[in-house]
Structure 1
Amino acid sequence: FLPISILDLNNYLISQGIDESRAQLLSTFARGSIEKAIELSESADFAIMRDEIQTYIEIMLDKDMIDILEIPTSMEKYKKDAISILDMFINYFRDMMLLKEKVDKSMIINIDKITFIQNMSKKITYSQVSKIIDIIEDIKKKIRSNCNFTISIQVMALNIYEVIK
């Protein structure tokens, strides 16, 4: 089956009693799957994962090498959701890129985290954001190819550190 459009999925979630901003967020992360959107809406872990990803991004952009080296161990619990976690990282950096381009805020995926995104986007350039997204996409390919999760995340964190130092 083809994925459902984000707009149709968003409207469906709203009709199920989910508030508009949360429905928009879930629609984006579900990538056209009603089942995934409902699963995310009922998941307490989804909010926790997003908060932890923010922490990881902050650690990387604050250039604290000791904390950066602890990220892979901390992320080990998300091994089974590796691609989803990396997609969340990409969405945050994508939002930073869009803010730098001064696009309409309705295009921001993590609109509920706009203050965090604005603060982090001030720490890096447009070019750095682009390189970071490429690094994360590369790690997604490696994980899909069954590369070791912990080592892949460590490589990702260190490569991001190299881009922003």
Structure 2
Amino acid sequence: MSINAIIGHDSVKIQAASSIEKGRFSHAHIIVGEEGIGKSIIAKEIAIKLLDKEKNKQYVDIVEFKLQKDKKSIGIDEIKNIIEETNKKPYEGNKKVILLYSADKMTEAAQNAFLKTIEEPPKGIFIILLCEKLEKILDTIKSRCQIYKLNRLNEEEMLLFLKNRFPDTSEDEIKIVNAFSDGIPGRAERFMEDASLKEIRNNTVNILKGICKNKLEDSLIYEDFLLKYKGEWQEVLTWFLSYIRDILVYKETGNNELIINIDKIDEIKDMAEMFSFNKLNGIINIIKDTRKKLERNVNPVLVFDSMLVKMQEV
């Protein structure tokens, strides 16, 4: 794969490729975007192009630093190791690329320690920082870097990605995955490869079916499921909203072709008959309130219990 073969992010690809070809690629860069958006793919392809290589493989002069699994931040000790690496000459040619993942996890002290190296790295050394939250990076570092912001893929780009990445997948499943991914390729890959997401998807529709039948005990059965996936609460709420969207659409139009979760069409039809518009809108508001509480780190046990009871009572 070359940088131009990556689907989406056209302006970033053109800008980076052009500056490399003209010898104007600056020494420090930040690539910012959501998890799964393609930051690492773009960064590695830029690194390969900088080294004037063809194949996408491991090169000794592309050095990657990642947040250690047992740590929540990148401290001064880790930055000292990176600085030490920047001061080593390239092995194969006259260029070396340093990739720092989760750069927004650097402590303020670590960023200050890294500042001089970012401002004036040794000749032939290129530093690329990857992050999700640009606001966590100090202004003094941002001002010394070229910043590339990666946006979500549009529907046409996302469908092309899915058909290329999963060529044997049915059109119906492509439609489902595309809706779930919300323009983020990494989310689509995870859904196709991670069985836990399929469990989340199946159980959320079962919870709605229990609520639909006004059987509180049926919904409360899923308390353990919700707590099991409390770390994946965004995915859980996404699937709730996806099904409610389909139910509302079917109630309005009766058109199967507009349904995203087409493999669940029988359940959606049943719930469309039993749920009122008022109740569906009430559940949407409950989910929005649940999201706000979880974003504020309110105890998930209390939040999910409250959500299930309110969904039943609305």
TM-score normalised to the size of structure 1?
A: 0.91
Q: Which runs of 5+ in 1 are unaligned?
A: none
Deviates more, 1:136-145 or 1:69-78: 69-78
Alpha-carbon distance change, 65 to 86 in structure 1, aligned in 2, over 3 angstroms: same
Q: Which of 187, 210, 231 is equivalent to 1:59?
A: 210
Alpha-carbon displacement from aligned partner over 1:110-152 (angstroms, at most 9, x marks no partner): 1111111101111111121111111111101111111111211
Aligned length: 163
Q: Which runs of 5+ in 2 are unaligned?
A: 1-149
Greater share of residues in strand: 2
Partner of residue 270, structure 2: 119
Partner of residue 247, structure 2: 96
Q: Does 1:149 align with 2:300?
A: yes
Note the C-alpha offset of 1:11.
2.3
Q: Write the distance in 1 (CA, Å) between the matches of 2:292 and 2:257.
A: 30
8 Å CA contact 1:71, 1:157 repeated in 2: no
TM-score normalised to the size of structure 2?
A: 0.49
8 Å CA contact 2:210, 2:218 repeated in 1: yes
Which protein, 1 or 2, shows the higher relative CO under an 8 Å CA cutoff with sep ≥ 6?
1
Q: Which of 233, 238, 242 is equivalent to 1:82?
A: 233
RMSD across aligned C-alpha pairs, in angstroms? 1.5
SS at 1:101 equivalent: helix
SS at 2:151 equivalent: coil
8 Å CA contact 1:71, 1:154 repeated in 2: no
8 Å CA contact 1:60, 1:160 repeated in 2: yes
Note the C-alpha offset of 1:103.
5.8
Note the C-alpha offset of 1:87.
0.9
Q: Write the distance in 1 (CA, Å) between the matches of 2:245 and 2:220.
A: 24
Q: Percent same amino acid at aligned positions? A: 25
Which letter maps to 1:62? K
Q: Does 1:33 align with 2:184?
A: yes
Partner of residue 7, structure 1: 156
Greater share of residues in helix: 1
